[in-house]
Structure 1
Amino acid sequence: MPMLQARRFLPSLSLLAAFEAAARTGSVTAAARELDLTQSAVSRQIKALEDQLGVELFLRERQTIRLTVAGDGYAREIREALRRISSASLNLRANPHGGTLNLAILPTFGARWLAPRLGNFLKANPGITINLVTRLVPFDFRLDTIDAAIHFGQPSWPGGELTLLMNETTIPACSPAFKESHILAEPKDMLKVPLLHLMTRPDAWEKWLTLNDVPFETVSGMLFDQFATAAQAAKAGLGVALLPVFLIQEELQRGELVAAIDREIESSARYYLAFPKERASYPPLAAFREWIAAEAQAATDSGCHKLPAHRLQA
């Protein structure tokens, strides 16, 4: 649709703001108070919007209003559109001379691997602002304000491009005291102790046992939503958790966690930077993509994804 023709269906922000406020509060009075307008002004704006669209948005019953079916659906879309406009304006105001990168991260990866390195990127790119939000599963870039995301899994993201970052090696980890109090000599011994599970990888222990030729019927145990809490539980002696080596380097170095047995497993999944293809040339994203790929390669080359040899049999 040509832009000039499309503008016929583009109401002014004042009309949309009045409609959204009334739809959200269910009251013209409340909307007027929020917008610092008179009730009659809000009513006129809503009526002007209905006239422009040719659709009734509210059912008026004495002193109350109620969204029509069409109005309810329209309110949901307008609310999201206004949120995105507000977010874009806030980002521009915060960094008018550079660019903003909205990055979705996996919480433990973001806290333990990315955050300690991010200062170097910001120093090298002083005009770029990075906003971090947590996302645990893939999402539709078209329906979000996110420019890129850290993805762990198979090399697929609907509607997105992927840059490979690194692989992952996991170990069955526990506290030294837990290991001392249990006989843990071979993989089948894992079935005799409490196992700690991650919600995003509910079958991780089943895969580990299968790869180590351990027959089992069911594998139960405590369930955690993040690696950080699972690692903390393992440190506290609550059981054995399958944890990525590179995310627990500090605990391994300090001796707070040790390998329950010497059975590292390299995951078939990988870490990727996902982004929409049409945003690939966006300068902040291009700079970040180049930087994080180099950081991931340097971390791999340094061996930080491998278990320290002196901790294997601690």
Structure 2
Amino acid sequence: MSLDTLRKSPQIPPLKAIQSFEQVARFANVARAAEQLNLTPSAVSHQIANLEALIGRPLFIREARGVSLTPAGEQYLREVSGILQSLATATERAGSAVGFDCLRLHAAPSFGLLWLLPRLDHFRSSHPQIQINLSCSYESLHFGRHQIDLDIRHGYPNWPSLEVRTIRHERATVLASPQFLERTQIRRPSDLLGQNLILSEAALVQWPHWFAQQGVALPQAPYSLSFDRSYMSLEAASHGYGLALESSLLAQDYIARGELVSVFAEDLATPVSAHHLVFPRGHAETFRVRQFLEWVQGQLGHDFNY
């Protein structure tokens, strides 16, 4: 190897090539990526071809219905994920007032409303220099396009290009109001047959799973109420409308206020890993995200699962 080769600086690909790669990897389709970037499909394909030539390896496998990442492409996506967001953040901060820092959060609706929102004032008191911007939906937003620092997602963790920290010790448990239990005799799982059951449609553990775990046949009667948001199921149960099978994490404040109680002992609850703090690799190095992660751990009283 020559001295000139050793002295040569590493080649940095054009920003447009990185954007094209990230969008094609996200959509697994060149045409859809081109729409997002406001380019022609041929221009995006050209950027990808130049990037592959620079790297010296194919990043995508071309298929009839789209493209898929090669092992080299998967590795490259993991390593460059978050770079564009970091650039956007740096640009924003350079144009902001000195000392201003905005933490942009996105959360699953029930987690945002029931767990996060009641505790945000504590975080703000501890970190007055950090402004909070919170949005809630069940969408998995794109960190760069939507300018999100951290996403709190509900579901099964399947985001290989992102860093995922799973909240531990969450359980699906049967809950009811004290008033409901005063007028209803419930001692064992089979006593739920014929009772008013509230269905949480978005919950990872639902009534059929729970009854099967207890060895009880599923009731034939339809659910008395069903909701697409956990906070609505918990609110309905707190009004005495029936029994909810819901997250102990989301119900934490209802239980603390005495508005809901666990119907059975903990050994009849089902462990579930339903909520995850998700962000691009490298975001944890920023002050605002690092402070938020440490604060959430303190509120939960335990570390995350990695």
On whether the aligned pair clears a TM of 0.5, the verdict is yes
Which residue number in structure 1 is paired with residue 115 of structure 2?
A: 113
Which residue number in structure 1 is paired with residue 162 of structure 2?
A: 160
Q: 1:121 and 1:144 mapped to 2: Cα distance?
A: 23
| Inter-CA distance 115–254: structure 2 relative to 1 (3 Å threshold) | closer
1:231 positional shift? 1.4
For the residue of structure 2 that corresponds to 1:166, the secondary structure is coil
Kindly report the root-mean-square deviation, in angstroms, between the aligned alpha carbons of the 2 structures.
3.8
Give the letter for the 1:245 counterpart: S
Q: 1:91 and 1:195 mapped to 2: Cα distance?
A: 50
- Check conservation: 1:166, 1:297, Cα contact below 8 A: no
1:228 positional shift? 1.8
Which residue number in structure 1 is paired with residue 243 of structure 2?
A: 240
Which residue number in structure 2 is paired with residue 287 of structure 1?
A: 291
For the residue of structure 1 that corresponds to 2:167, the secondary structure is strand
Q: 1:266 and 1:137 mapped to 2: Cα distance?
A: 26
Give the letter for the 1:251 counterpart: Y
Which residue number in structure 2 is paired with residue 296 of structure 1?
A: 300
What TM-score do the two structures reach when normalised by structure 1?
Answer: 0.60
| Inter-CA distance 214–176: structure 2 relative to 1 (3 Å threshold) | same
Q: 1:137 and 1:167 mapped to 2: Cα distance?
A: 24
1:4 positional shift? 8.8
For the residue of structure 1 that corresponds to 2:186, the secondary structure is coil
Worse overlay, 271-280 or 260-269: 260-269
1:241 positional shift? 0.4
Which residue number in structure 1 is paired with residue 262 of structure 2?
A: 259
Which residue number in structure 1 is paired with residue 227 of structure 2?
A: 224
Which residue number in structure 1 is paired with residue 128 of structure 2?
A: 126
Q: 2:176 and 2:156 mapped to 1: Cα distance?
A: 28
- Check conservation: 1:164, 1:293, Cα contact below 8 A: no
**Equivalent residues in 2 for 1:50-61, closer than 5 Å:** none
- Check conservation: 1:175, 1:235, Cα contact below 8 A: yes
Identity %: 26
Give the letter for the 2:105 counterpart: L
Deviations 1:145-174 (A, max 9, x none): 211111334443242101233321232112
- Check conservation: 1:165, 1:292, Cα contact below 8 A: no
- Check conservation: 2:175, 2:260, Cα contact below 8 A: yes
Q: 1:249 and 1:280 mapped to 2: Cα distance?
A: 27
Unaligned runs of 5+ in 2: 1-10, 17-32, 39-84
Question: Greater helix share, 1 or 2?
Answer: 1
**Equivalent residues in 2 for 1:18-167, closer than 5 Å:** 77=37, 97-167=99-169
Deviations 1:99-143 (A, max 9, x none): 222111122322332223323333333332221011324344354
| Inter-CA distance 109–91: structure 2 relative to 1 (3 Å threshold) | farther
For the residue of structure 2 that corresponds to 1:291, the secondary structure is helix
| Inter-CA distance 181–294: structure 2 relative to 1 (3 Å threshold) | closer
Q: 2:204 and 2:298 mapped to 1: Cα distance?
A: 31
- Check conservation: 1:108, 1:228, Cα contact below 8 A: yes
For the residue of structure 2 that corresponds to 1:210, the secondary structure is helix
Give the letter for the 2:196 counterpart: P
Worse overlay, 246-255 or 128-137: 246-255
1:297 positional shift? 2.1
For the residue of structure 2 that corresponds to 1:247, the secondary structure is coil
Kindly name which structure, 1 or 2, has the bigger radius of gyration based on alpha carbons: 1
Give the letter for the 2:242 counterpart: G
Deviations 1:193-226 (A, max 9, x none): 1211112127511111111111237674222122
1:287 positional shift? 2.1
For the residue of structure 2 that corresponds to 1:179, the secondary structure is helix
- Check conservation: 2:173, 2:270, Cα contact below 8 A: no
The count of residues paired between Structure 1 and Structure 2 equals 230
For the residue of structure 1 that corresponds to 2:117, the secondary structure is helix
Q: 2:155 and 2:35 mapped to 1: Cα distance?
A: 36
What TM-score do the two structures reach when normalised by structure 2?
Answer: 0.61
Which residue number in structure 1 is paired with residue 62 of structure 2?
A: none
- Check conservation: 1:166, 1:272, Cα contact below 8 A: no
